[in-house]
Amino acid sequence: MSMRSELYIDGQWVTPSGEETIEVVNPATEDLAGQVPAAQKADVDRAVLAAGLALPAWSETPVAERREYLRLIHQGLVERSEEIALTITAEVGMPIKLSRQIQARLPATIMGSYLSLIDDYPFSETIGNSLIVKEPVGVAACITPWNYPLHQIVAKLAPALAAGCTVVVKPSELAPLSAYLLAEIVHAAALPAGVFNLVTGYGETAGAALAGHSGVDLVSFTGSLRAGRRIAEQASASIKRVSLELGGKSASLILEDADLAAAVKGTVGSCFLNSGQTCSALTRMLVPEALYGDAAALAVECAKSFALGDPMSDKTRLGPLVSAAQRERVLHYLQQGVLEKAELLTGGADLASCPERGFFVPPTVFGRVAPEMTIAREEIFGPVLCIMPYRDLDHAVAIANGTEYGLAAAVWSADGAKALQVAKRLRAGQVDINGAPFNPLAPFGGFKQSGRGRELGKYGLEEFLEVKSIQSRQP
């Protein structure tokens, strides 16, 4: 159990201004996993002030020195990877085997990717009689979600520090414990005081205070579409830059010549990863009408292999949802799918097969889902797959592009050139072909209401940079 009573501000652990606390619940056991302070506006003001005072010196720190701090933080993430995995499994419920591979390893990978990137990045260039320089935006507020809690922080923190920005992090109140491990790693790296600050609290208090703060120059937010809209509204008063990575309803488009078994297995695996609590999850599987029966049978067989269980067991493939409220949300969608006449092929709202304790729901597959159905349009954020048959390729592309989201997609085909042509027609920020592996240097972000801006690689770095042109009179 991780009981925290302090915030990390200006290079030290400090007592919060109020006495309110937040209990963090283990979603698999419903027991207390930890406790953190609920920061108030005064705490946010203190953190932003510290970041603002630290900005001039940090922004002028040579790139090589900033890189060394990143290296030390990367080293700390690697050394404490097992503790990170155990902590995130306790607060989120991802099975421990996956937490080790994803929740702990991915943040270290992302931090490490910026070590080589900033060595070669051109922070200035000459165009004619102009010197073009890229400078840090300033104080960055990083407001992050609970599903990949440490990864989402590091995906913002690494480029922000590399760019020369100072940072105030506000993690989700549902999963804030791993952020404390990061703060300890940052402190051990002796990062200058005020460059990194951590405030834990609720979105409507600490999050709102950060988003609307006049001392914040940029807000980088990852979360729901509803919360993203609110963040953008709060930030608009001071015309600060806002980067948003929001929801998704990603389509997996299986062409008639694809390896059907591999495509279905890959789609189901993506859909059920982290119990479906992944913004880029492939939750809509589009198949040719002629292959619908075979695809549905394969999906059901695959879904049944995702046995629910104790996330601390290496044998468990599917853990709980993060909270009781999230379980109720998913159950509502399961009931809505049946009400709107989608074919329930496996799973559903009956919890008889679930463990008695914990926020579990069965892995679910709906068949013959029509584009106008609620479960085809709205982000469920649970282990729920919608199979949608299509007539021809144009029909498939129309279905894939027919939601308000545009975060990710997939195409499966034996013909690589054809798959690439289809991928270019999809209105999504990231498209995988035939189960291609994740690339930490490729830009991640969405079209339409999946957000604006990009994370990872040089594109993530540029979110934290301003461009200035300096003209000189030629002799």
* List 245, 379, 455, 463, catalytic entry: 245
CB-based burial of residue 123 (10 Å sphere; 0-12 exposed, 13-18 middle, 19+ buried)?
Answer: middle
List the helix and strand counts (H, then E) for the chain. Answer: 16, 21
| 23 part of the active site | no
* Size (the chain), residues: 475
Nearest to 33 by CA among 180, 196, 199: 180
DSSP 174: T
How far apart are alpha carbons 103 and 182 in whole angstroms?
Answer: 13
The one catalytic residue among 165, 279, 302, 386: 279
- Of 309, 382, 302, the residue nearest 345 (C-alpha): 302
Residues 363, 303 contacting (CB under 8 angstroms) = yes
Spatial separation of the C-alpha atoms in residues 49 and 43, rounded to whole Å: 10
Nearest Cα residue to 317 out of 269, 382, 358: 269
Cα(270)–Cα(410) distance, rounded to whole angstroms? 10
Question: Residue 137 class from Cβ within 10 Å (0-12 exposed, 13-18 middle, 19+ buried)?
Answer: buried
Q: 139: closest CA among 109, 167, 116, 111?
A: 167
Cβ contact 107:74 at 8 Å: no
Q: Are 37 and 4 contacting, i.e. CB atoms less than 8 angstroms apart?
A: yes
Nearest Cα residue to 378 out of 244, 271, 284: 284
With 0-12 / 13-18 / 19 or more C-beta atoms within 10 angstroms meaning exposed / middle / buried, residue 62 is: exposed
Other Cβ atoms less than 10 A from the Cβ of 16: the count is 22
Q: Which two tokens stand for residue 181?
A: 């491990």
Catalytic annotation present for 245: yes
Residue 356 CB: number of other CB atoms within 10 A? Answer: 7
> How far, in Å, are 97, 125, 142, 192, 457 from residue 220 at the CA level?
30, 27, 5, 22, 16
Handedness of CA 38, 44, 46, 47 (dihedral sign): positive
Q: Do the Cβ atoms of 409 and 253 come closer than 8 Å?
A: yes
E strands of 128-281, at which residues? Answer: 130-136, 139-143, 166-170, 196-198, 218-222, 241-245, 250-254
Residues assigned a catalytic role: 245, 279
